[in-house]
Amino acid sequence: MNVVLDIFVRDLPSALLAWSVLALLAVASIGVLAAYTRQSEPQAPAPAPELLQRQQELLTAHAQTLVRKAREATAAAERAAAAARRRREEWLAAQEVAERAWQNYDEADSQARRVLTASALPLPRTPQTPAEYAFRERYLHRSAMSACSHNRLSALELSDALAHREGWDPRRHPIEQEAMLSKMARASLRTAYRRASETEKQAWLATEAATAAAQSLRAAAHTAQMRARRATRRLNPADPAGDGLAPQE
């Protein structure tokens, strides 16, 4: 047993040296094999410069198209916004006209009520003479022209009054003529108010439509601008805003 141990201890350095040499040879063989494998693998060919240039040209053209469309959409949105402002101004003006028409009608209605109440009383007696009838005719003409000048009668109604048509009788008592003028004025101003109110309503609807169109175009312009910026940033990474590419004319 002692002899075996002596032999083992005496030969141990030689065995360790041999195993170390074998390990180094194995590592070197593995490295050579890996290098050979990498060299034997097929490499993807680098794209040709002409192909890269063509791709860049296509991307540039696409980005320029998006920028041009974004600018066109922005211009359309600005025009729509200006149109919406004009429609709103027209609506506000129509609203003022309708309010004045209502005030005129309200005043005419109040006056007509007072005159009609007074006309229900017995009429004062006046002499039945040519001078009296001439006075009544002049009174009718003056009252009708005054009412027309204050927009309480239309030009057509004034023409009927001066021509003694459509129930206008110059022989009636001035109180009766005033009552008829009041009723005609009230009816005329009521019609004027209804027309003004309808005009104001149409102006409001036009304003609503123009505002909706402006909002839609503004959203479309924003979307077009975002697309153009993304396309521009892909071409110019150094331009974070994406505004460095201008469309070519």
* Rounded-to-integer distance, Cα 222 and Cα 244, Å: 17
State how far the Cα of 175 lies from the Cα of 118, in Å rounded to an integer.
8
Stretch 116-137: mean pLDDT, rounded? 84
Share of the chain above pLDDT 90, in %: 41
Tell me the DSSP string of 13-33.
HHHHHHHHHHHHHHHHHHHHH
Write the DSSP assignment of 147-206 as a string of letters.
HHHTTSS-HHHHHHHHTT-TT--TTS-HHHHHHHHHHHHHHHHHHHHHHHHHHHHHHHHH
Let me know: does 181 contact 143? Beta carbons within 8 Å.
yes
Spatial distance between the Cα atoms of 155 and 147, rounded to a whole number of angstroms: 10
Domains of the chain, earliest start first:
53-122+129-235 (1.10.287)
pLDDT in tens, 3-28: 444 444 455 455 555 555 555 555 55
Mean local confidence (pLDDT), 125-145:
89
pLDDT at residue 233, as a whole number:
87
The pLDDT value recorded for residue 202 is 96
Cα(first)–Cα(last) distance of the chain, in Å?
A: 102
pLDDT, tens digit (0-9, with 9 covering 90-100), for 25-75: 555 556 555 555 555 445 555 556 788 788 888 888 888 899 999 999 999
Would the pTM of this model clear 0.75, i.e. be above it? no
Average pLDDT, the chain: 81
Q: Per-residue pLDDT for 80 more than 60?
A: yes
For tokens 């007072």, name the residue.
114
